[in-house]
Amino acid sequence: MTKEIGKGKKDLKIDLSRIIKSDFITKGLRTALATGNWGRDRENNVLKTGVSQVLNRLTFASFLSHLRRVTTPLDKKGKQAKPR
């Protein structure tokens, strides 16, 4: 990219704040963390759902229980071996 923009200029500096708006990245991260839906394909379908959740802090016991939960990424279709 630098070669195409500045042929013959060695001290060319690219200002990324003009190319990429920081609001775009911040907004994307906020919505992903708030909804738990991560990534979109070309048809605007969600690639992964349920990746993040809100941490429950009502009591210390519920907080610890929430942190200790584990989910296994098993597919819903096809024959599955039991988790060991």
Count the neighbouring beta carbons within 10 Å of the beta carbon of residue 32. 16
Rounded Cα distance between 53 and 70, Å, is 12
Percent of all residues in the chain with a pLDDT value above 90, rounded to a whole number? 4
Give the confidence band of 7 by pLDDT, cuts at 50, 70, 90.
low
Taking the model in full, what pTM does it have?
0.46
Cα angle 17, 20, 23; round to 5? 90
Report if residue 26 sits inside a domain: yes
Alpha carbons 66 and 60: distance in angstroms, whole number: 10
Query: What is the CA 4 to chain-centroid distance, rounded?
Result: 31
- Give residue 43's domain range: 2-68
In a domain, residue 75? The reply is no
Paired with 52 in beta bridges are none
Question: Higher-confidence residue: 21 or 61?
Answer: 61
Domains contained in the chain, number = 1
Average pLDDT over residues 4-33: 75
> Which whole number is the average pLDDT over 44-57?
79
